């Protein structure tokens, strides 16, 4: 699940202010979504994937990231190809039946597919080059309510602990044939969920006690934002202007 | 007939999809913004409620965070779906809504969806609004109202939890279908596309809703047996009901 890299590495994108990266990514996402054709989203995706690869992100990680969206793209292209449009592109004769794919459908499907590819690539790049705490600080700077940020930080912090607990319980249940039939499986899954909820309740109490002893007053500490560096802002603007020109073509 | 056969073939391919959330980039910009606008008041109300509760009880924020982590884990867990012969995964919002109420559950689902969008590419930032509406708002409200309604009519805890789980899941997928159909239809008429998308969800979501109901029952029954104090604290049960059970 940890897809971001060691941010201490010497990469200029990792060193840029999280706010600049977030705003640039959001602007790029808006451009991808509002692009008329499929070229701009695909160019954006290509650029993002190249940057990630140059940073050393393994191909397997990128493939994992694109696995689910890739399947959705395939489904949408097929759905659109066979059900949208009037100008037949090809006709398949299958067991005496004629099935047509339509030009308009293919074009619409590919446009949606390219938007998905572009959007996923932009988000992947943002996450790869921005540590979680920096991302949360950038969201707080964008006036996302503090309670929302605090809950997200708690969720992220304890997600891995609960996930490990869930894995232990799941394998224990599996070893005791807890998933050997549908009835047993359903019961085991319910027990697993219930146990996680109990752990969440108990942990919330002990975490609060420990944090109060260390001065917790209801607000989580947040990264202190430094003033914007004009070079970074200028670089972000220049990049967006270039992409904007490409978008308008 | 021909179209039906092609569609049937697509359904077979669609079965393994973990089609929980609307993927990044599917919705055009106006629709993405529109769903954010719909989601915003509910999230704002939820945040207001969580703010007030966490001022009274400092452990409420960590609890909400941990519940968001539980929802995240549950919705990442592959569960076998017998009729489709494949795996899918439940939402978990019905369970959160029963325990913490629909508004807090909306915020919890939003947090979980944000983390999944950022780190797993399940859903996306542009489709976060749409996913919050389907899973957070509608899923939570459907689960909560079903649970409270059935309890008010005298249903047992297990029966009410079962139907709450089912309703939360099916309502989520109904709204997801509407969001998808409105977003990707282009010049196509809305209703026929909605029908196709809903049909595509049937092989996995029909049994998965039942599974989500069973999971919610399992959770509630376990809590009642092992830790009834949690159910009392969350106003799911009254103290006298726990004492009555010995």
Asked if A4 and A132 touch (Cβ cutoff 8 Å), the reply is yes
Chain B residues whose CB is inside 8 A of the A82 CB are: 3, 6-7, 10
Average pLDDT, chain B: 84
One domain, residues A151 and A104: no
One domain, residues A152 and A104: no
Q: What pTM did the predictor assign?
A: 0.88
One domain, residues A118 and A239: yes
What SS3 state is found at A57? Answer: coil
Nearest 5 degrees, angle CA B129-CA B131-CA B136? 95
One domain, residues A30 and A120: yes
Taking alpha carbons only, the member of A123, A159, A138, A131 closest to residue A4 is A131
Among A117, A201, A218, A221, the residue to mutate for chain B (most B Cβ within 10 A): A201
| pLDDT the model gives residue B13 | 45
Check residues B120 and B50 and name the one with the higher pLDDT: B50
Question: How many folded domains does chain A comprise?
Answer: 2
Asked if B109 and B72 touch (Cβ cutoff 8 Å), the reply is no
Other C-beta atoms closer than 10 Å to the C-beta of A13 total 16
One domain, residues A172 and A81: no
CATH 1.10.1760.20 holds for B26-76+85-235: yes
- What is the secondary structure of B38-89 as a DSSP string? HHHHHHHHHHHHHHHHHHH-TTHHHHHHHHHHHHHHHTT--EEETTTTEEE-
Q: How confident is the model at residue B192 (pLDDT cuts 50, 70, 90)?
A: confident
A5 falls within a domain = no
Residue B204: pLDDT over 90: no
Whole-complex ipTM = 0.88
Residue B12: pLDDT over 70: no
Residue range of the domain that includes A96? 12-130+230-248
What SS3 state is found at A249? Answer: coil
Rounded Cα gap, residues A233 and B186, in angstroms? 37
| pLDDT the model gives residue B65 | 92
Option in A123, A147, A211 nearest B118 (CB): A123
| pLDDT the model gives residue A150 | 93
- What is the secondary structure of B111-176 as a DSSP string? HHHHHHHHHH-SS-STTHHHHIIIIIIIIHHHHHHHHHHHHHTT--HHHHHHHHHHHHHHHHHHHH
Helix (H), strand (E), coil (C) string for A149-169: HHHHHHHHHHHHHHHHHHHHH
User: Is some CB atom of chain A closer than 8 A to the CB atom of B158?
Assistant: no
Q: How confident is the model at residue B85 (pLDDT cuts 50, 70, 90)?
A: very low
One domain, residues A92 and A44: yes
Asked if B101 and B144 touch (Cβ cutoff 8 Å), the reply is yes
One domain, residues A161 and A81: no
Residue B8: pLDDT over 50: no
Residue B18: pLDDT over 50: no
Q: How confident is the model at residue B32 (pLDDT cuts 50, 70, 90)?
A: very high
One domain, residues A44 and A73: yes
Inter-chain Cβ pairs, chain A and chain B, closer than 8 A: 257
What average pLDDT does this structure show over B77-99?
Answer: 69
φ, ψ of residue A101 to 5 degrees: the values are -100, 145
Ranges of residues in chain A whose predicted pLDDT is under 70: 1-10
Report domain extents, chain B: 26-76+85-235
| pLDDT the model gives residue B37 | 97
Q: How confident is the model at residue B80 (pLDDT cuts 50, 70, 90)?
A: low
A157 falls within a domain = yes
Asked if A27 and A19 touch (Cβ cutoff 8 Å), the reply is no
Range of weakest confidence among A15-19, A26-30, B81-85, B166-170:
B81-85
Interface contact A75-B216, CB threshold 8 A: no
A117-135: per-residue pLDDT in tens? 999 999 999 999 999 999 9
Option in B10, B117, B211 nearest A79 (CB): B10
One domain, residues A96 and A181: no
Rounded Cα gap, residues A170 and A158, in angstroms? 18
| pLDDT the model gives residue B78 | 60
B93-118: per-residue pLDDT in tens? 888 999 999 999 999 999 999 999 99
A222 falls within a domain = no
One domain, residues A103 and A169: no
Alpha-carbon dihedral angle through residues A175, A176, A182, A184, given to the nearest 10 degrees: -150
B122 CA: distance to closest CA in chain A (Å): 7
């Amino acid at each position: 699940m940890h897809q971001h890299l060691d941010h201490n590495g010497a990469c200029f994108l990792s060193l840029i202010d999280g706010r600049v990266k977030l705003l640039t990514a959001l602007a790029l996402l808006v451009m991808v979504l509002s692009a008329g054709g499929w070229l701009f989203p695909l160019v954006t995706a290509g650029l993002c994937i190249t940057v990630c690869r140059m940073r050393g992100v393994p191909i397997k990680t990128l493939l994992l990231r694109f696995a689910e969206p890739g399947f959705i793209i395939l489904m949408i292209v097929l759905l659109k190809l066979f059900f949208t449009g009037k100008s037949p592109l090809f006709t398949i004769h299958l067991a005496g039946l004629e099935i047509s794919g339509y030009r308009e459908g293919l074009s619409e499907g590919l446009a949606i597919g390219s938007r998905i590819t572009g959007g996923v690539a932009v988000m992947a790049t943002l996450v790869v080059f921005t540590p979680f705490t920096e991302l949360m600080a950038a969201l707080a700077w964008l006036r996302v309510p503090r309670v929302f940020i605090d809950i997200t930080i708690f969720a992220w912090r304890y997600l891995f602990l609960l996930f490990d607990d869930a894995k232990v319980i799941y394998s224990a249940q599996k070893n005791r044939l807890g998933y050997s039939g549908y009835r047993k499986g359903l019961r085991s899954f319910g027990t697993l969920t219930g146990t996680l909820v109990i752990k969440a309740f108990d942990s919330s109490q002990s975490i609060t006690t420990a944090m109060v002893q260390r001065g917790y007053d209801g607000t989580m500490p947040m990264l202190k934002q430094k003033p914007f560096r004009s070079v970074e802002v200028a670089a972000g603007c220049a990049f967006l202007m270039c992409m904007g020109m490409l978008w308008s073509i | 007939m021909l179209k039906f056969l092609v569609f049937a073939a697509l359904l077979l391919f669609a079965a393994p999809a973990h089609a929980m959330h609307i993927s990044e980039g599917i919705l055009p910009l106006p629709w993405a913004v529109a769903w954010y606008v719909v989601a915003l008041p509910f999230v704002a109300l939820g945040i207001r409620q969580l703010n007030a509760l966490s001022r009274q009880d400092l452990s409420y924020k960590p609890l909400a965070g941990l519940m968001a982590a539980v929802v995240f884990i549950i919705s990442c867990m592959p569960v076998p779906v017998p009729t489709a012969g494949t795996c899918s995964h439940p939402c978990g919002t019905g369970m959160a809504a029963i325990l913490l109420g629909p508004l807090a559950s909306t915020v919890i689902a939003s947090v979980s969806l944000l983390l999944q969008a950022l780190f797993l590419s399940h859903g996306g930032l542009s489709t976060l609004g749409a996913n919050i509406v389907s899973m957070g708002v509608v899923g939570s409200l459907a689960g909560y109202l079903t649970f409270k309604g059935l309890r008010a009519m005298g249903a047992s805890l297990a029966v009410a939890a079962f139907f709450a789980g089912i309703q939360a899941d099916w309502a989520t997928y109904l709204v997801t279908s509407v969001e998808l159909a409105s977003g990707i239809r282009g010049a196509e008429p809305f209703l026929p596309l909605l029908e196709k998308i809903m049909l595509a969800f049937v092989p996995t979501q029909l049994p998965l809703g039942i599974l989500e109901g069973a999971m919610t029952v399992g959770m509630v029954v376990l809590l009642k047996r092992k830790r009834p104090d949690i159910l009392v604290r969350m106003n799911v049960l009254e103290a006298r009901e726990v004492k009555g059970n010995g």
